[in-house]
Structure 1
Amino acid sequence: MSARSAAQRSPAVAARDLIAELTATPTGQSSVSVYETGRLVSLSPWLTLHVERIRYLLDVEHAGGGWGGPGGYGLVPTLSATEGLLAALRRADLAGTSDPLGRGAVAAVDRGLTALAERLTTVPVASLPDMPAVDLIVPALVEALTAHLHALRDEPVSGLERWREAPRLSLPPGMETTRLARVRAALAAGHPLPKKLLHALEVTGPAAYRAPGVVPVGPGTVGASPAATAAWLGVPDATTGTALAYLEGVVRQHGGPVPCTSPISIFERSWVLSTLARARVPLAVPAPLLASLRDTIGPTGTATAPGLPVDADTTSVTLYALARAGHPVDPSSLEFFDTGEHFCTWPKEDGASITTNAHVLDAFGWHLRNSGAAARRLDPVVRRLTVWLADRQAPEGSWSSDRWHASPYYATSCAVLALHGYGVGPAVEPAVRRAVRWVMAGQHADGSWGRWGGTAEETAYALQVLLAAGPTSADECGQAVARGWQWLITMDGADDAPALWHDKDLYRPSLIVRAAVLAATWWGRSSAGPEPVEVESARRSAMIRIA
C-alpha cells in the first residue's frame, strides 16, 4: 500500500488494517533479498520455483551491472547473485528454458564479474557497511567464485570464455579470512557455534551439511535464514521434513525469491505496536496479539525469530510495546545485556548499537516513570544511558551510524525519542536541539528527507525528531514540519522501495515502515497546517471509532 493511500484514510482505519495484517501473515512481511536468493540458486536447484529465483536475479540487476544498494551496499548482493548464476550455468540448470533466459544469465555473470574485479580492489573493508557476517560472507563468496573461474578452464561456459584465464579475485583491502577459517574449523570439529552465527551458516560450505549440534527449530529453520537452512539441508530426505517444509513455505510465500530472515513476527509486531502507541494513534490491539509478545519474554529476553539468539533490541521494543498497551512486564531481562557502560545487542557483540541503547532507554524509562517506587532502582541506568547516547551524538547533531539501518534519520529519531521521552539530566535538551538543527538542514526542496533521496520512511523519522522537540522548536521548525507533513500525505510513493534496513542484505519490513509513516502523519496533523482538500475529504468521510 502506498504512503499516499494510507494517508488518505482515517488513521484509525489505517491502524486497524495494520493490526489485521500483523496476524494475517504470521511469518511477517519483508522484502526479498538478492543475497539470500542467490544462495538458494546456488545451494538448492531442486527447490520449488528455482527458475523464478533465477529470473528474479536477472530482473533486478542494475543497468550497468551489479546488484544491491549504493556504494559498499552492493558488494555482498553482487557476489551472491554472480556466484549463484554462475553455479546455475555450470550445472546447465537453464537447459530446457527459453534461450533469452540463458543468454541473460551469461551476460549478467559477465557484468557481475567485471564489476567485482573492480570493486574488490577499490572498496576497502573499512568502507563496507556494518552488516551481519559481512567479514564471513565476502571471503566465502570470493572463494566460491574463484573455484568456479578455475573450473572454467576445463569446463568452459559459452559466452564466458574471457574469464577462463582471469586473474584470481582478491579480497577487499584490509579483509582477512582468519575468522572464517576459525568458524569452519570449529564446525568441522563438532564444536557448537554461537547461535548468532547460525544465521549465516551457509558461509561454512560443506561443513554446514547436517552439522552436528545444529538442529532446525520452530517452523524448521536454521538461524531464521533460508540460506542457512538450505546449506544445512543439502538434498532433502525422509529425515528433513521440517526444514524442507520451511523452505517450501518461504519460497511459495514470496513467489520464488526469499528474504534474509523469516519469520520476523516478534520484531514486526513489537515495532509496529510501539511506534503507533508512542504517537497515540487510535488502535485496538487484540488480546492474542499481545499475548504472542508477552509469552516470548524469558529470563534473558526475547529473540527476533526462532533460531536467532535473544537480543536487547527486540527485547526492549517488545517490553515497551507491551507497557504502552497497558500490559507492562518487568524489564529485568534486559540486565542480561548490561556491559556496565552500555547495553549490547547480544553478549560479546563487536561494537555497540545506538538504536539498541535508545530502545533500552525507552523500556527502562517508561517503567521508571510509571511503576512507582518499585522502579526507582532503574534511575541510575536511565541516567547512564542518557549520558551514553548524548556522548555519541555527532557534532553536527545526528547519530549517523548504526548497525541496523542505512539511514541516519532512523538512528537520530530513535535517540531523540528516547532522550526527549525518558532521558534524565542536563544533556537531554542540548542534544535534542542539535538534532533538530541537523534535521532541518537536511530537508530537501520538496519537503522530504532521505539519505539518497526523499523517502516516506526517512521523512517520517525526520518529522518524529521535529515533533518530539515540541515547545523547544522555533517557528522555522514548525514550517519544516508543515512542509514535510504535506509532502508525506500527498506523495505518490510505494511500499517496495527503497530497502534501508540491515541484514545480510538491505531489506524493507513493510509493515514497520507503514507504521512509521502513519505515526508521523497522525502525530503531525495538529501542527502541520491545513490538509490538502482531497486528503481532508477522504479522511473525514472514512472516520470511524474503534473501541
Structure 2
Amino acid sequence: MSLTAGPARVTRAGDARAGQARELVEAMVDNPAGETSASVYETGRLVGLAPWLPGHDLRVSWLLDRQRADGGWGGPGGYALVPTLSATEALLTVLRRGEHGPAAPLADAAHRGLAFLAGALDAAAPPDLPATDLIVPALREAVERHLAQPPAGLADWAGVRLPLPAGIDPDRLTRVRGLLATGRPVPEKLAHALEVAGEGARRAAGVRPAGVGAVGASPAATAAWLGRPEPGSALDYLRAVGSRGPVPCASPITVFERAWVLGILARAGVPLAVPGSLLAELRAAVGVSGAATGPGLPADADTTSVTLYALARLGRPLDVSRLDAYDTGGHFCTWPGEDGASVTTNAHVLDALGQHPGHPGVAATVDRVAGWLVERQEPDGSWDDRWHASAYYATYCVLLALADHAAGAAALAAVERGVGWLLDTQRSDGSWGRWGGTAEETAYAVLALSGAGRPGDTRVDAALVRGRRRLSEWDGRADGPALWHDKDLYRPTLIVRAAVLAASWSADPTPTGPATP
C-alpha cells in the first residue's frame, strides 16, 4: 500500500503531472531493464559480431538511415568519432560477407564514412567517453584490415592507413588484450568494453555473464564473449535486447534509472506512490561496496550516492558509510582507480551525505567535498563533467547540492556565479542548451534556478517564467539529442522525462511532498 503525502488540494495541472509521475513509476516496474536510446556504436558492433542474431537486417538498415550528410554518425564534433568508426567497420564487414542486398548503397555509405574518418581521426583528442582510448585503436585496426583488400567499390581505399587522434595510446589496448590472454579475472569495468579484445574476447576465462546473461551490461561485449549462437543465458540476453533491431549501449540499467527518476521527482516535491517492492529492490541493490548501474557493472559512488539520496527522501534510509571506500581524502572517486574525477559524482555524494547530518564525520566531509566542487567551477560560472555532454547537467547537480548542503562564503559565491551563468546563457526562445535548446537541458536550468536562485530576484523570476513557458510549448516531451556519456552518447528516456516533469511541477505553487509506501 502507498500513502500520498501532501495536502489534498491539487491543481488541474498538478493532477496531470501526478499522473505522469505514476506512469514513470509504472514504467520502471513493468520494464526493470530500463529504457534508453539506441546506440550507433553498439548496434554497429552487433552487426559485425553477430550476423546470426535475429534483427540483423534491421540493424544494417538502421545504420544506413542514420548516416549524416557529411558521412559521419553520432553527435557533433568529436562525439562522431566512435560511432562513425563502428558503423563504417560494420558496413565493411557486411560488404565482405556479401549480405544485405545490393552492394552499391553499402559501398557508398562506407566510402563516405571512410572519408569522414580520414579527417576526424587526424583531429584533436576525442571527448572523454568510457573506453574511447581502447575502442578507437581497436576499430582503426579492424578498418585497416578491411582496407588491405577492400571490398568491391572501394578500391581507391586500398592500403590506406588511418591516423590515431591526439592522446590515444595504442599500447594500452595491447596491455588489455594481454591481460585477457592470461585467463586471470579482469576488472569489472573492463567487461563493459570487452569487444575491444577481438578474438581474445570469446569465452574469455576471466569474464562471466552476470544477472540476465549480459557481459558488462553491453550487447557488444556479450556478443564478443559469446562468439557463436550457443544456447545459454548470454544468447537469451542478446535475443531479448536485439529483438527490435538497434540496441543500447547499456542494458539493464535498473538501479541507475530507478535511483535517478525517484531522486529527481522526490527533490522537486512531486507526490510519489512507489510500490514497496520497488523500494525493497532498490535497497537490496546497495551492497557493502555500494550499488552498480546494473548487473555486470562495478559498484560506483555515483549510483550509490543517488540511490542513498532517493531512499532517504522516500523514508527508507541506508547507512552512508557505504561511500567510505570511494573517499580519496580530497574528493570521492567514481570507482577506485578512476582516471580523472567527476563533479557530478561528488555533487551526488554531497546530496547523500546531506540526508544524514548526524552521522559521524559527515559535517567535515560535506565541507571538504563542497570546497572541492567550488574549486572546480569554470571561470564563466558553470561546471563541466565527464558523464554528460552538457554543462547544464553538471551545473544543475552542483548548484542544488551546494545550495542545499554547503555553508560559507565561498559556496554562496559559487552558487551566485552559477546562477549568473544560467541567466546569461538562456536562449531567446526561453530554452537552454549546448548545441540548441532542448527540453532536457531547459529542465536542468529551471530546476537549478528554482532551487538555488535567490528568492525574489527579478532576473531569476523572469528567466523561470520564460523557461517554463518553453517547456509547456514542448508539452512534456522529452525527446531530443542524446547527451549522456557511455561508449557512445545516449539518452536515458525515463530519467530525462523525470527531469522535464520535475521542472514543470516546480511551476505549480501547490505545496506537496513525496509519498512513502
TM-score class, shorter-chain normalisation, is over 0.9
Tell me the equivalent position of 2:7. Answer: none
Q: Distance in 2 between matches of 1:163 and 1:70?
A: 25
Tell me the equivalent position of 1:391. Answer: 375
Tell me the equivalent position of 2:496. Answer: 513
Shift of residue 246, structure 1, vs aligned partner:
0.4
Shift of residue 492, structure 1, vs aligned partner:
5.5
1:371-426 superposed Cα distances (whole Å, 9 cap, x missing partner): x4xx2421110110111111111121100x21110000000000011011111333
Any stretches of 5+ residues in structure 2 without a counterpart? 1-11
**1:524 aligns to what SS in structure 2?**
coil
Tell me the equivalent position of 1:244. Answer: 235
1:414-458 superposed Cα distances (whole Å, 9 cap, x missing partner): 001101111133322111110111000000000000000000000
Tell me the equivalent position of 1:307. Answer: 296
**What are the within-5 Å matches in structure 2 for residues 56-95 of structure 1?**
56-94=62-100
State whether structure 2 residue 356 is matched by structure 1 residue 367.
Answer: yes
Tell me the equivalent position of 1:171. Answer: 164
Give the alignment partner of residue 509 of structure 2, picking from 526, 529, 534: 526
**Contact kept? 2:396, 2:448, Cα under 8 Å:** yes
Q: Distance in 1 between matches of 2:18 and 2:399?
A: 26
Tell me the equivalent position of 2:145. Answer: 147
Tell me the equivalent position of 2:193. Answer: 200
1:69-106 superposed Cα distances (whole Å, 9 cap, x missing partner): 00000000000000011001101122xx3x3xx43221
**1:211 aligns to what SS in structure 2?**
coil
Give the alignment partner of residue 320 of structure 1, picking from 309, 317, 324: 309
Amino acid at match of 2:201: A
**Contact kept? 2:274, 2:516, Cα under 8 Å:** no
State whether structure 2 residue 125 is matched by structure 1 residue 135.
Answer: no
Shift of residue 265, structure 1, vs aligned partner:
0.9
What TM-score results when the alignment is normalised by the length of structure 2? Answer: 0.94
**1:10 aligns to what SS in structure 2?**
helix
State whether structure 2 residue 136 is matched by structure 1 residue 159.
Answer: no
**1:367 aligns to what SS in structure 2?**
coil
**Change in CA separation of 1:266 and 1:366 when aligned onto 2, cut-off 3 Å:** same
Shift of residue 119, structure 1, vs aligned partner:
1.2
Amino acid at match of 1:144: A
**What are the within-5 Å matches in structure 2 for residues 421-432 of structure 1?**
421-432=404-415
Tell me the equivalent position of 1:114. Answer: 115
Q: Distance in 1 between matches of 2:230 and 2:23?
A: 41
Which 10-residue stretch deviates more, 227-236 or 183-192? 183-192
**Contact kept? 1:199, 1:228, Cα under 8 Å:** yes
Shift of residue 464, structure 1, vs aligned partner:
1.3
Tell me the equivalent position of 1:341. Answer: 330
**1:284 aligns to what SS in structure 2?**
coil
Q: Distance in 1 between matches of 2:475 and 2:27?
A: 22
State whether structure 2 residue 478 is matched by structure 1 residue 478.
Answer: no
Shift of residue 174, structure 1, vs aligned partner:
3.4
| Greater helix proportion | 1
Shift of residue 493, structure 1, vs aligned partner:
7.4
1:161-215 superposed Cα distances (whole Å, 9 cap, x missing partner): 21124x2111113322011010001111223221101100000111101011211
Give the alignment partner of residue 454 of structure 1, picking from 419, 430, 437: 437
**Contact kept? 1:229, 1:243, Cα under 8 Å:** yes
Give the alignment partner of residue 207 of structure 2, picking from 208, 214, 233: 214
**Contact kept? 2:347, 2:398, Cα under 8 Å:** yes
Tell me the equivalent position of 1:358. Answer: 347
State whether structure 2 residue 410 is matched by structure 1 residue 416.
Answer: no
Q: Distance in 1 between matches of 2:230 and 2:259?
A: 37
State whether structure 2 residue 270 is matched by structure 1 residue 281.
Answer: yes
Q: Distance in 1 between matches of 2:290 and 2:149?
A: 48
Q: Distance in 2 between matches of 1:179 and 1:84?
A: 23
Q: Distance in 2 between matches of 1:148 and 1:470?
A: 56
**Contact kept? 1:11, 1:282, Cα under 8 Å:** no
Tell me the equivalent position of 2:51. Answer: 45
Any stretches of 5+ residues in structure 1 without a counterpart? 1-5, 528-544
Q: Distance in 2 between matches of 1:420 and 1:37?
A: 41
Q: Distance in 2 between matches of 1:436 and 1:215?
A: 47
Tell me the equivalent position of 1:229. Answer: 222
Amino acid at match of 2:214: T
**1:406 aligns to what SS in structure 2?**
coil
**1:81 aligns to what SS in structure 2?**
helix
**Contact kept? 1:485, 1:524, Cα under 8 Å:** yes
Q: Distance in 2 between matches of 1:466 and 1:176?
A: 42
Tell me the equivalent position of 2:6. Answer: none
Q: Distance in 2 between matches of 1:309 and 1:45?
A: 29
Tell me the equivalent position of 1:538. Answer: none
1:128-157 superposed Cα distances (whole Å, 9 cap, x missing partner): 2111000000000000000010032xxxx2
Q: Distance in 1 between matches of 2:168 and 2:128?
A: 13
Q: Distance in 2 between matches of 1:437 and 1:389?
A: 17
Which 10-residue stretch deviates more, 466-475 or 298-307? 466-475
Identity score, percent: 58
Tell me the equivalent position of 2:452. Answer: 469
Q: Distance in 2 between matches of 1:191 and 1:424?
A: 48
Q: Distance in 1 between matches of 2:183 and 2:13?
A: 54
Q: Distance in 1 between matches of 2:259 and 2:474?
A: 27
Tell me the equivalent position of 1:180. Answer: 173
**Contact kept? 2:315, 2:516, Cα under 8 Å:** no
Q: Distance in 2 between matches of 1:71 and 1:53?
A: 24
Amino acid at match of 1:129: P
Q: Distance in 2 between matches of 1:378 and 1:39?
A: 45
Give the alignment partner of residue 254 of structure 2, picking from 248, 252, 265: 265
Amino acid at match of 1:32: A
Which 10-residue stretch deviates more, 473-482 or 314-323? 473-482
Shift of residue 472, structure 1, vs aligned partner:
4.8
Q: Distance in 2 between matches of 1:61 and 1:7?
A: 40
**Contact kept? 1:386, 1:427, Cα under 8 Å:** no
Which 10-residue stretch deviates more, 284-293 or 487-496? 487-496
Q: Distance in 1 between matches of 2:472 and 2:380?
A: 29
1:352-373 superposed Cα distances (whole Å, 9 cap, x missing partner): 00000000000001111xxx4x
**Contact kept? 1:225, 1:261, Cα under 8 Å:** yes
Q: Distance in 1 between matches of 2:108 and 2:218?
A: 29
